[in-house]
Amino acid sequence: MIRGFRGATTVKKNTEEQIVNSTKRLLEKMIKENNIFPENVSHIWFTVTSDLDAAFPAKATRLIDGWQFVPVMCAREIPVPQSLPLCIRIMLTAETEAAQDEVHHVYLNDAVSLRPDLELTKKRDSL
């Protein structure tokens, strides 16, 4: 089954180093938590808020061994007033045996505020 795997993170500053390093950390966590292999990935979409333009977050993919051939694309988020600033989002589409409710979406740093319901689900599952 093809599934979407979501993730988001934030950075403190609009620098290439922070964008690439934070994106790499997020992507690696998504890969690990969902047991994703590059040959099963259809593509990855990266989006950034309009206050981030120092680097393409997709560059982080090329820093992970074995992920050089995965198709990637970057875009800008819709500039909704009062939305979370300095935010990088990922939509990774891959083949998986996981059921929809078994997919682990990953939110780091200030991005945890985007999906507090997912944190509640994780806590309930660990009880």
Identify whether 89 is a catalytic site residue: yes
| Catalytic, out of 25, 28, 33, 115 | 115
Q: Which has the closest alpha carbon to 12: 67, 95, 76, 86?
A: 86
Catalytic residue (one of 16, 62, 95, 102): 62
In the three-class reduction of DSSP (H, G, I as helix; E, B as strand; rest coil), residue 71 is classed as: coil
Catalytic residue among 3, 6, 25, 28: 6
Q: Which of 3, 25, 33, 74 is catalytic?
A: 74
CA atoms within 13 A on the CB side of 15: 5
Sheet harboring 72-76: ordered strands across?
72-76, 41-48, 87-95, 2-10, 106-107
Look at the block and give the residue holding tokens 């290439």: 16
Note if 77 is an active site residue: yes
Could you say which of 33, 76, 77, 95 is catalytic?
A: 77
For residue 3, indicate whether it is catalytic: no
17 belongs to the catalytic site? no
Question: Is 28 among the residues known to form the active site?
Answer: no
Q: Dihedrals φ, ψ of 78, to 5°? A: -65, 130
Active site residue 107: yes
Is 76 one of the annotated active-site residues of the chain? no
Catalytic residues: 6, 62, 74, 77, 89, 107, 115
